[in-house]
Chains A and B, each alone.
Chain A
Amino acid sequence: MTESASSRFVFDPSANRSRPLWRRLIPQRWYAHLILTISVIVITFPMFYALLISTQSNPEVYNHKFTPGSRFFENLHTVMVQRNMGRFMLNSFVIALSIAVGKTVMSVLAGLGLVYFRYPGKWIVFGFVLVTLIMPGDVLLIALYRRVVSFDAWPHPYVALTLPLLASATGVFIFRQHFMTMPPDLSEAAQLDGASPLQFLFRVLIPLSWNTIGALMVIMFLFGWNQFLWPLILLRDQDLQVVQWGMQSLTQSLEVGDNFGPMMMGVIITSLPPMIVFLILQRQFMKGFALTRDK
């Protein structure tokens, strides 16, 4: 993380020396810090409030206690052990990772097919893919279920779960845009060297696309992580269920009274894996941009 920060932070001693002392005492670009601090406070307030509640008992929540409560470990136990969230998180991690990788691979290939070849009716293919972005997936679930179960040789329920989700209009759109901004001389040079399109993809395009791949992986991982209605309908084995299913079991107790502590503990815990994925891919993200700029 620091390397990207330092590469962009240009230390210029001469500029610093010419500034009066009072200006050196307040941080440079204080307005950016100000705006960002305010944004962070406003935007993360709900998350930190959730974090606070995750340590409290119901009566503490009811009385708006502003200090950390007494039930952090009990709530953690309820979520992870009693409600089996650890298992669900592992399941969702596998599913989300498969979806993210699968979607990215397929989108890169489709992007290649939509940009680096000449053939009539290309816009029809693109439109065909793009329109699916607008189809409300939740409405199609029952019909999708019938299609999926009509084939009964799925090696594992997760294959049936993830395969229908692997095509990504967003991904195709992003890679098409991205490849179109690539300088044309790259592929001209590759063709002069006699490279095949796939060689060009692996040797040139992908190394230049880590930024896009990183960003897309984050989105797609989250897409997989947030799957709820589809696994709810498809999966019958409880041990295979997903993290959003676990969340719903923490939030469902409508008439018998909510249990806010475990509920918010669930919110916080289940938001962490996507954030970790983001933090890991963030570096890739920055390195990729450095490459693009060096061209």
Chain B
Amino acid sequence: MEEIAYSVHPAIVTLVGALLGAGYFAFLRWQTQAGGLNISLGVGALAGVIGATLLTAPLGYCMFQADQKSEDIIIGWIAVLLGLMLTLNLFSMLLWRYFRGQRLLPRGDTTPGAFRGRFGLLYAMTVLSPTILVLVFFVYLPMVDTLRFSTFLARFGAPRTRFICVSNFSRMLADLDYHSNLFLSFALSFGIIIIAMSLALLIASMLNQPIVGANIYRTLLIWPYAISPLVAGVIFSLLLGTESGIVNRVLDLTLGVKVPWLVTVPAAQISVVLASVWNVIGFNILFYTAGLQTIPKDLLESASIDGAGAWQRFARITFPLLSPFTFFLIVTNTIYAFFDTFSLIFVLTRGGPTESTFTAMYRVYVTGILSSDIGKSTAQSLILFLIVVGITIFQFRVGQRRVQYGNY
């Protein structure tokens, strides 16, 4: 058998994993002062070995082979790091539960009012099974099928594929265009979320006032939400054309100016943000109006009697009690802004001018669906997926602390 030459030998990778794992567990042991040091080190090393192997061994440590580029090696180490993050967290959680004398698995979170009885798991699995089965067969399996391609050079309809290790990923690492696509996704999403949510909250608070015609206002305000992102793009391209658009026509007649909405750099990005906000704001208004209904009126009244002004009541009572809704909307708006705006961008700007509205998901769409370049496209979507998972975990961490699940 031919000996494979490595620039970083798998043994070294495994050893690094073991050392990092042991080191991290020693740190945890020092921090918590619980449990035995030797067992911590041992389990830490084991977790490190598994973590370092998890994502690299299935690919045969190909990214560490001698013929790979330095970017591939970096991707290899990132894979090691991701694996470590997963296993070290998992093992440390289990080990320290053991140290503290707890059961290895938490006995379910202690939701007040849960049904007692021995068949909790069975019962729960029965009611959860439709959702889980559909997700396994129609989301997870296709996901696995798709992700297989992320390490391949693969084209839709091609008679063959070629294993190219992590080249699809390392190519992105070196691709400045892709970096700016990612940055743009963040920037545009941030703009969309901030504007769409704050405006929706303002409008919903006004709708929540006891005023005549609230139903009419609400219905009209939710109307644009009934439009798909693609069609929203069609409408906005009619509005925002430099010469052809009605907005510039009105501006020209009244102020004598024409704004090149879709073809100059900050304007095109602003237009995409505004069109997306317009498309999603009805959804936010719907939820905030629903949320405002749940706030007990007596609480607000008593605060009013205590002399709290409108702003104080909003900041001290309404907004904190709305936090579950805010949290939910942040998550869904993030997903909308990252994943659903590509068809709007396709119609409105084609990612232009000069790629200034070329978001990461738009690239996935162009590469995968329009150009059939499946390998690259799945690698890109995997990166995007990891990023949004990261954002969501972050939001959950922050959210868990801030969100007040109203136990009024």
Residues of chain A touching chain B, judged by Cβ–Cβ distance below 8 Å, are 1, 4-5, 8-10, 27-29, 31-33, 35-36, 39-40, 43-44, 46-47, 49-50, 53, 62, 64, 106-107, 109-110, 112-123, 125, 128-140, 142-144, 146-148, 163-168, 170, 172-174, 177, 180-188, 191, 197, 200, 211-212, 215, 218-219, 222, 225-226, 228-229, 244, 247-248, 251, 260, 263-264, 267, 270-272, 274-275, 278-279, 282, 285-286, 289, 292-293
A260: B residues at CB distance < 8 A: 238
Name the segment of B35-43, B61-69, B177-185, B328-336 touching the other chain: B328-336
Q: How far apart sit A219 and B142, CA to CA, in the bound complex (Å)?
A: 25
A53/B113 contact (C-beta < 8 A), A138-B365, A139-B368 known: no
From A53, A130, A211, A267, contact of B227 by CB (8 A) = A267
Q: How far apart sit A120 and B114, CA to CA, in the bound complex (Å)?
A: 13
Query: Chain B nearest CB: distance from A97 CB in Å?
Result: 15
Q: How far apart sit A114 and B207, CA to CA, in the bound complex (Å)?
A: 33
Q: How far apart sit A68 and B402, CA to CA, in the bound complex (Å)?
A: 51
Q: Is the CB of B364 within 8 A of A184?
A: no
Name the segment of B122-130, B165-173, B261-269 touching the other chain: B122-130
B 209-242 binary contact with A (CB < 8 Å = 1; else 0): 1111011011111111111101100111011000
Q: Is the CB of B135 within 8 A of A128?
A: yes
Q: Is the CB of A185 within 8 A of B113?
A: yes
Q: How far apart sit A29 and B105, CA to CA, in the bound complex (Å)?
A: 55
Q: Is the CB of A219 within 8 A of B156?
A: no
Q: How far apart sit A140 and B378, CA to CA, in the bound complex (Å)?
A: 9
Q: How far apart sit A176 and B385, CA to CA, in the bound complex (Å)?
A: 24
Q: Is the CB of A191 within 8 A of B115?
A: yes
Residues of chain B touching chain A, judged by Cβ–Cβ distance below 8 Å, are 103, 105-116, 120-121, 123-128, 130-132, 134-135, 137-143, 145-146, 156, 199, 202-203, 206-207, 209-212, 214-215, 217-228, 230-231, 234-236, 238-239, 244, 246, 249, 278, 281-283, 286-287, 290, 293-294, 296, 324, 328, 331-332, 335, 339, 342, 361, 364-365, 368-369, 374, 377-378, 381, 384-385, 388-389, 392, 405-407
Q: Is the CB of A28 within 8 A of B211?
A: yes
Give the interface SS of chain B, mostly helix, strand, loop or mixed: helix
Q: How far apart sit A44 and B281, CA to CA, in the bound complex (Å)?
A: 12
Q: How far apart sit A64 and B116, CA to CA, in the bound complex (Å)?
A: 68
A113: B residues at CB distance < 8 A: 123-128
Residue pairs across A and B with Cβ atoms less than 8 A apart, 5 shown, are A40-B221, A114-B124, A119-B124, A197-B127, A274-B226
Q: Is the CB of A117 within 8 A of B131?
A: no
Q: Is the CB of B203 within 8 A of A177?
A: no
Q: Which residue of B lies closest to A195 (CB)?
A: B115
Q: How far apart sit A9 and B135, CA to CA, in the bound complex (Å)?
A: 45
A53/B335 contact (C-beta < 8 A), A35-B203, A131-B389 known: no
Q: Is the CB of A211 within 8 A of B339?
A: no
B239: A residues at CB distance < 8 A: 46, 49
Query: Chain A nearest CB: distance from B36 CB in Å?
Result: 25
B219: A residues at CB distance < 8 A: 275, 278-279, 282
Q: How far apart sit A106 and B134, CA to CA, in the bound complex (Å)?
A: 10
Q: Is the CB of A116 within 8 A of B223?
A: no
Q: How far apart sit A147 and B137, CA to CA, in the bound complex (Å)?
A: 8
Q: How far apart sit A117 and B112, CA to CA, in the bound complex (Å)?
A: 10
From A28, A116, A117, A200, contact of B121 by CB (8 A) = A117
Q: Is the CB of A184 within 8 A of B135?
A: no
Q: How far apart sit A170 and B203, CA to CA, in the bound complex (Å)?
A: 23
Q: Is the CB of A9 within 8 A of B385?
A: no
Q: Is the CB of A251 within 8 A of B234?
A: yes
Q: Is the CB of B224 within 8 A of A139?
A: no
A144/B142 contact (C-beta < 8 A), A36-B217, A139-B381 known: yes
Query: Chain A nearest CB: distance from B94 CB in Å?
Result: 12
B210: A residues at CB distance < 8 A: 8-10, 29
Q: How far apart sit A271 and B145, CA to CA, in the bound complex (Å)?
A: 35
A147: B residues at CB distance < 8 A: 137-138, 141-142, 145
B135: A residues at CB distance < 8 A: 128-129, 132, 167
A136/B105 contact (C-beta < 8 A), A181-B324, A279-B219 known: no
Q: How far apart sit A137 and B406, CA to CA, in the bound complex (Å)?
A: 33
Across the A-B interface, the 5 shortest Cβ-Cβ residue pairs:
A184-B113, A184-B112, A164-B138, A120-B105, A143-B142
Q: Is the CB of A121 within 8 A of B214?
A: no
Query: Chain A nearest CB: distance from B246 CB in Å?
Result: 6
Q: Is the CB of A43 within 8 A of B278?
A: yes
